[in-house]
Amino acid sequence: TQAFLERIEKHRNLNAFITVDPERSLTRARKADERLARGENAPLLGVPVAQKDIFCADGWLTTCGSKILSNFTAPYDATVIAKFDAAGAVLLGKTNMDEFAMGSSNETSHYGPVRNPWNTDTVPGGSSGGSAAAVAAALAPAATGTDTGGSIRQPAALTNLTGLKPSYGRVSRYGMIAFASSLDQGGPMTRTVEDAALLLNVMAGFDPRDSTSLDRPVPDYTAHLDRDLKGVRIGLPKEYFGEGLNAEVAKAIEVAVAEYKRLGAELVDVSLPNSGLAVPCYYVLAPAEASSNLSRYDGVRYGYRAREYTDLIDMYERTRAEGFGPEVKRRIMIGTYALSAGYYDAYYLKAQKLRRLIAEDFRQAFEQCDVILGPTSPTTAFRIGAKTDDPVAMYLSDIYTISVNLAGLPGISIPAGFDSQGLPIGMQLIGQYFDEARLLNVAQRYQ
């Protein structure tokens, strides 16, 4: 813990953390040492883990990347935080992120952009950009992220990490600040697949405090990592290899496909015909849910409150005008519009129907294969500022990841080489519902 805290200090320029509290972390680390000395055991005893600042941690500032929560000290632990605690892990600090997890570059954070350790003029991806930069620069051995449309997998891809978005319902959302509740899912961001499995062992499981959590047993995700791939059917969706995919990324994925063939996997062509509609579908549904979730930030209950106002309504308005950044405001505007009485059928209802079709595409593809393989992101890391004035270009960063959230499936991004600029390329594997163990196994064999 001491060594990592020193590295965090030394690499402040990356802006990977919003909060570090060395005394608090070291106190926990000493406790872990005592437990170790007594011969006690726990899965992550003494292991420092960086937590995305979207998870409430008792007594820790928890900002979610926003000014509106810039004074919010969480009064309780998220289930994920409590589980890491119980596993003996040391909370190393709270990582920077896009405001309310809305973004693909970590540039919407109220606390400033995060730099990609592979090239500090480029973004680390988002919204879990602080976690990605922290692990990639060895400021932490492992971190958590959350993924609503790609926010674990895309930053993992852009920083050469393994990032796993579990099936919807696998990891508790209790105490994880809500963006789009039907899509949000927490997961690990690590340097190896084995580490991802170790963290998922800790994070996964039923939680009666999250009504969307599923009561299914948690297998030991490390148990079958090395199983051979003979006969495993890997589906290649033709829609994931078309226009818009960077040539160097495409090439790296081809290399991976050839390697899987050599490893004995069977490659099958599949189709996800509605995948081109996933981004527009998501940008109706996610903002709709966000506009509802974010109505709680009113300056009354907790968080930032405008200093000057004339009456209650004015206080609400000024608080929200001053407390939210431009991307969050854009989402609230889109969401309230899509949910309004006059437009509900045309937008929200239609997007819900489309969501069902996208899930159905996957169901059919999985009749022919066990795992789906493709790129994680259409490009490697882009320069800071390159897409900040063009939200649609930014939204397209998640073109291969968003449909996985809409369908509720697990997806993992793993390293797949580098482009000619020396920037990391990520490959995505998508699994059937609750089939994380197989996903990790197929990922592990490529490492």
CB of 407 to ligand GLN, least distance (A): 14
Q: Give the binding range for ligand GLN (CB under 6 A) out of 38-46, 99-107, 238-246, 250-258.
A: 99-107
Alpha-carbon dihedral of residues 401, 210, 45, 141, nearest 10 degrees?
A: 20
Of 64, 68, 81, 102, the one binding ligand GLN (CB under 6 A) is 102
The catalytic residue among 104, 128, 151, 172 is 151
3-state helix, strand, coil in the chain (%, to 5): 40, 15, 45
- The answer to the question of residue 104 lying near ligand GLN (CB under 6 A) is yes
Cis amide linkage into residue 181, ω under 30° from 0: no
The tokens 């996957």 sit on which residue? 362
Nearer to ligand GLN, 29 or 101 (CB): 101
Run of H or E residues at 270: strand 266-270
- The answer to the question of residue 147 lying near ligand GLN (CB under 6 A) is yes
- The answer to the question of residue 274 lying near ligand GLN (CB under 6 A) is no
The catalytic residue among 104, 109, 127, 213 is 127
Cα–Cα distances (Å) from 348 to 335, 343, 344, 353, in that order, read 9, 8, 5, 9
Decide if 167 is catalytic. no
Q: Exposed e or buried b for every residue in 381-399, given b needs 16+ CB within 10 A?
A: bbebebbbeeeeebbbbbb
Decide if 151 is catalytic. yes
Of 32, 78, 91, 101, the one binding ligand GLN (CB under 6 A) is 101
- The answer to the question of residue 204 lying near ligand GLN (CB under 6 A) is no
CB of 165 to ligand GLN, least distance (A): 8
- The answer to the question of residue 398 lying near ligand GLN (CB under 6 A) is yes
Cα separation, 86 vs 203, whole angstroms? 11
Strand pairing category for 371-375 and 233-237: parallel
Cα separation, 200 vs 221, whole angstroms? 7
Nearer to ligand GLN, 229 or 284 (CB): 284
Q: What are the structure tokens assigned to 249, written together?
A: 């990324």
Q: Give the binding range for ligand GLN (CB under 6 A) out of 22-30, 149-157, 238-246, 349-357.
A: 149-157
- The answer to the question of residue 335 lying near ligand GLN (CB under 6 A) is no
Of 48, 88, 93, 103, the one binding ligand GLN (CB under 6 A) is 103
Decide if 52 is catalytic. yes
Contact indicator for 373, 235 with CB cutoff of 8 Å: yes
Task: Sketch the per residue contact string, 124 through 143, with ligand GLN: x for CB under 6 A, - otherwise.
Answer: ---x----------------
* Residues with catalytic roles: 52, 127, 151
User: Which residue ranges make up the site for ligand GLN (CB under 6 A)?
Assistant: 101-104, 127, 147-151, 179, 286, 398
